């Protein structure tokens, strides 16, 4: 029996390709964990047990005929906002409960061709329009490290599955932080790719000009392996036309970071951070320094302009994508998501264009800023996982919407289109994970992955397992 909390996707694929392990046995182990744990964690909306076994058997047959598959037998969780052939894709909403795609999303198709075995559709915030993964239709997803806490969103189900060994790879979407936030809050790895690096075909849109599709995993090396399969041009998504080839190997061996300049900002990235978060991230930066990186203080611009631009764009584009569904009062969509979508109709064309103009200003600011360093290092989230149902945080006696507190760390880089990686870097006294966010220039995922892998090799955070879930 394989212990899925004690291994990686890369190791599973190696052993399946070598004939040391059967993909079908890995699938059975993943499904057994889902059966044991998902009732209290709500990581999945749909579980595809019989299909998973059939697909795993097909992987075993392919390997027996001499094929080597880069992700042979790896259990895969897919956010329920991405098409899966013959499997319902609800987007976390009763409004799409009967939608069954006739094909896979392109990123999903590439992973499955590489040997991944789909075990289920992961839970998500309805229409991907939120950060908590509370869901009135399918139940709230629960952080596996502490009951009653959010896992983050909107890709929370995939992060839960990875942290607990119900899957070893997950596909997520990131428009404002929806891969990185749950990765940080659940203690796993999440990569928000450069806009256009991975095809969005078959992903239900939220904001077409900021949506990205990316990998989530338990290790940086696994995320890199997934990216090498997922990335590249796709004629069905014109945004991928300029995507450059990734190097081989994507993550070189070794931990020497000599010559890498790590920028460390002050300001809002640390101002609202819990003391344990700030300390863990600063300790992680010192680890990078110890590996040879030069640490450079950075005067980062305030996020007010980025926040205003992001909101103007996402509100308008979400309304454009989903107005018809939101106007159907009988389709089961929850009222808060309906109101969010329809609120975008109150923006006029000038306001949307003002948002896009502001976006260009922000992008120019960041482009100039990155000339003085190579990788920005910040907390992924200033907070550890907050209680389910909490909506505001008191800051100097003033209530601040929690969505700002969480997403101001991640949202700017969706606006600028830059890649960003979240890596576990510590735990609070309550046992909740803390994430380090590394941000690079467009198309520089290889550098982020190199830095993240070096940090992970020098630390042991990924070895910890949530309490009470078994090996």
Q: Domain locations in the chain?
A: 4-304+353-463
Digit-by-digit pLDDT tens for the chain (471 residues) are: 689 999 999 999 999 999 999 999 999 999 999 999 999 999 999 999 999 999 999 999 999 999 999 999 999 999 999 999 999 999 999 999 999 999 999 999 999 999 999 999 999 999 999 999 999 999 999 999 999 999 999 999 999 999 999 999 999 999 999 999 999 999 999 999 999 999 999 999 999 999 999 999 999 999 999 999 999 999 999 999 999 999 999 998 889 999 999 999 988 899 989 999 999 999 999 999 999 999 999 999 999 999 999 999 999 999 999 999 999 999 999 999 999 999 999 999 999 999 999 999 999 999 999 999 999 999 999 999 999 999 998 888 889 899 989 999 999 999 999 999 999 999 999 999 999 999 999 999 999 999 999 999 999 999 999 998 876
pLDDT of residue 471: 63
Number of Cβ atoms within 10 Å of the Cβ of 19: 10
pLDDT of residue 343: 96
Q: How far is Cα 187 from Cα 42, in angstroms, rounded to an integer? A: 17
Please provide residue 26's backbone torsions phi and psi, each rounded to the nearest 5 degrees.
Answer: -65, -40
Is 79 designated active site? yes
123, 178, 207, 243: the active-site residue: 178
22, 79, 121, 192: the active-site residue: 79
157-177: b (≥16 Cβ within 10 Å) or e: bbbbbbbbbbbbbbbbbbbbb
Evaluate whether 417 touches 443 at the Cβ level (below 8 Å).
Answer: no
Evaluate whether 140 touches 156 at the Cβ level (below 8 Å).
Answer: no
pLDDT of residue 393: 87
What is the second-level CATH architecture of the domain 4-304+353-463?
Alpha-Beta Complex (3.90)
Is 22 designated active site? no
- pTM, rounded to two decimals: 0.98
154, 280, 381, 428: the active-site residue: 154
240-278: b (≥16 Cβ within 10 Å) or e: beebeebeeebbeeebebeebebbbbeebbbebbbebbb
Is 381 designated active site? no
């Amino acid at each position: 029996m394989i212990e899925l909390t004690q291994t990686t996707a890369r190791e599973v694929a190696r052993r399946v390709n070598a004939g040391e392990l059967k993909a079908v046995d890995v699938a059975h182990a993943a499904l057994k964990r889902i059966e044991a744990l998902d009732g209290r964690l709500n990581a999945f909306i749909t579980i595809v047990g019989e299909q998973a076994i059939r697909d795993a058997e097909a992987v075993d047959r392919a390997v027996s005929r001499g094929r080597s598959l880069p992700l042979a037998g790896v259990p895969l969780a897919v956010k329920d906002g991405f098409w899966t052939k013959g499997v319902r894709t609800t987007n976390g909403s009763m409004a799409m409960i009967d939608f069954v795609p006739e094909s896979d999303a392109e990123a999903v198709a590439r992973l499955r061709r590489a040997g991944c075995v789909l075990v289920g559709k992961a839970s998500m915030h309805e229409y991907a329009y939120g950060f908590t993964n509370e869901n009135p239709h399918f139940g709230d997803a629960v952080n596996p490290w502490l009951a009653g806490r959010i896992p983050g969103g909107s890709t929370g189900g995939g992060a839960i599955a990875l942290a607990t060994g119900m899957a070893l790879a997950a596909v997520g979407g990131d428009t404002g932080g929806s891969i990185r936030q749950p990765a940080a809050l659940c203690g796993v790895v999440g990569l928000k790719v450069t806009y256009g690096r991975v095809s969005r075909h078959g992903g239900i849109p939220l904001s077409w000009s900021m949506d990205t599709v990316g990998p989530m995993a338990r290790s940086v090396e696994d995320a890199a392996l997934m990216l090498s399969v997922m990335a590249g041009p796709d004629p069905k998504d014109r945004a991928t036309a300029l995507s450059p080839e990734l190097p081989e190997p994507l993550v070189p061996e070794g931990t020497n970071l000599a010559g890498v300049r790590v920028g460390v900002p002050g300001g809002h990235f640390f101002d609202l951070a819990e003391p344990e978060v700030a300390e863990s991230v600063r300790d992680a930066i010192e680890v990078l320094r110890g590996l040879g990186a030069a640490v450079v203080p950075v005067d980062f611009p305030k996020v007010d302009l980025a926040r205003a631009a992001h909101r103007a764009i996402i509100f308008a584009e979400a309304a454009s994508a989903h107005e018809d569904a939101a106007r159907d009062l009988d389709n089961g969509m929850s009222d808060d998501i309906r109101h969010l979508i329809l609120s975008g109709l109150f923006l006029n064309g000038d306001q949307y264009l003002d948002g896009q103009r502001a976006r260009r200003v922000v992008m120019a600011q960041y482009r100039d800023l990155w000339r003085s360093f190579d990788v920005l290092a910040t907390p992924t989230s200033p907070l550890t996982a907050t209680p389910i149902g909490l909506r505001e945080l008191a800051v100097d006696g003033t209530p601040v919407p929690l969505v700002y507190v969480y997403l101001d760390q991640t949202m700017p880089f969706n606006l600028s289109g830059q890649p960003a990686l979240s890596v576990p870097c510590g735990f609070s006294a309550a046992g909740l994970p803390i994430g380090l966010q590394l941000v690079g220039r467009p198309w520089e995922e290889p550098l982020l992955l190199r830095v993240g892998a070096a940090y992970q090799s020098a630390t042991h955070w990924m070895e910890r397992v949530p309490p009470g879930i078994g090996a």
